[in-house]
Structure 1
């Protein structure tokens, strides 16, 4: 699992994911799980904070000069230099309800661009990773393999996913998203990290989210692009910091953007 130029960083990200998995799997469905609400009313568990604190402790020892931005403890990822962008548990609502679709997301951003990404979903038995120039990969029950996006070239044949339909009314346009669904073959709401990973696998063709945070999609951006796909915000900018996200196999990207633009 080494990539010239980023081999040590990818090895470290893998260690961080291993540490996170040990904590999250131990706390999943725990009867004493402590849950509170953040100012935006989204839930946070003691597992979220424990995972981020554990990752930060390792980074402080291994990469003391790198910045860190995490969902629970804050921080920053400047446009210049190196920063680790962390989501200790993406899919916290699933986690606290006992739904096994959640993951730890770890990205290394260099000069504003994600260059290493690891997404680990231990209850799904799946881990995705990528580094710039090294392709994207998946390990699951069937073994380890390189990833490649689909070759679907028409929206009428495309498989589309989002996270929550209601957010389109609040943050973008429900009508624009429905226009995209009507142009596609099938639609689902696999949600969060999983849909972007499925685009990288070639199982989905389009994944759209109208509201995201940087830690939600930094790792997904490098995984999707290294699998041959395209990742932008809904304005078409290739950034994880745009507040929205669209990942596709590349062939469908411009047409999807056109339908989603208000």
Structure 2
């Protein structure tokens, strides 16, 4: 039965039903993305001729099947996605989905991409799931924790790691071109000059590795809600902190900073918002 939306938080049983739906969405969409991964495919450009924002048939097919399943299970829920028009944006429950976060990596045959499935309850990120179908890795939030399943069948709880400060932190971002010349590039430059090591190319996978305790800081700019909504509950319930550069809630996207350690997050925000 569909859940009736209301102002109070869902019951534990309702939460389990919603989480089961998120897992089902990932299971349904995964074969559609793998059908195209590392195969010849046509690539469309959603941006102007002077820019490049790629989309493939895999993006569209995966989002379409997820939208159909959400509508079948929860007709009153809204859906915010990357490839099709938003629906039910005033609903108390709104699914926020990105069928392939990291399309550039996807079309290059790199496994640094993932499927993002988030659920907002009113204005709060309620649950999140990130799935990497090729490596068979999955990361998701429960009500008060975050969990993983690796390709070898290993499962466990995600926990961020402690970090003494920026000087010992490992930083990740998808690409330096994310940061516009001026304030954004200068802010990222200040962070990069302080940390121990920086790696590029992570997309959503970097946030999962932060939640798993393998890196300390992710700094990005220009994100959309579908790029980040699913990752917020995973990081926060693994013990991390994620906000905008100004320290505001991250669910609307924008310039984002995530850290596994609150001290590192505070240091990063101080530099980025300077």
Structure 2 length-normalised TM? 0.89
Shift of 1:256: 0.3
1:260 aligns with 2:272: yes
Shift of 1:239: 2.4
Shift of 1:172: 4.4
**1:248 aligns with one of 259, 262, 270:** 259
Q: Are the counterparts in 2 of residues 160 and 184 from structure 1 also a CA contact under 8 Å?
A: yes
Larger mean Cα displacement after TM superposition, 168-177 or 109-118: 168-177
Partner of 2:23: 14
Paired residue secondary structure (1:169)? coil
1:39 aligns with 2:47: yes
Paired residue secondary structure (2:254)? coil
Specify whether residues 71 and 30 from structure 1 end up closer, same or farther in structure 2 by C-alpha distance, changes over 3 A only: same
Paired residue secondary structure (2:230)? helix
1:69 aligns with 2:77: no
Partner of 1:90: 101
Off by >6 Å, runs of 4+ in structure 1: none
Partner of 1:124: 135
Paired residue secondary structure (1:99)? coil
CA distance in 2 between partners of 1:102 and 1:54 (Å): 19
Structure 1 length-normalised TM? 0.93
Shift of 1:104: 0.8
**1:115 aligns with one of 126, 129, 134:** 126
Specify whether residues 172 and 136 from structure 1 end up closer, same or farther in structure 2 by C-alpha distance, changes over 3 A only: farther
Partner of 1:185: 196
CA distance in 2 between partners of 1:131 and 1:114 (Å): 12
Paired residue secondary structure (2:126)? strand
1:3-52: per-residue Cα shift (whole Å, max 9, x none)? Answer: 65511111110010011111111111222x22111135300001100000
Larger mean Cα displacement after TM superposition, 240-249 or 54-63: 240-249
Q: Are the counterparts in 2 of residues 177 and 260 from structure 1 also a CA contact under 8 Å?
A: yes
Larger mean Cα displacement after TM superposition, 33-42 or 139-148: 33-42
Q: Are the counterparts in 2 of residues 129 and 138 from structure 1 also a CA contact under 8 Å?
A: yes
Paired residue secondary structure (2:27)? helix
Q: Are the counterparts in 1 of residues 101 and 114 from structure 2 also a CA contact under 8 Å?
A: yes
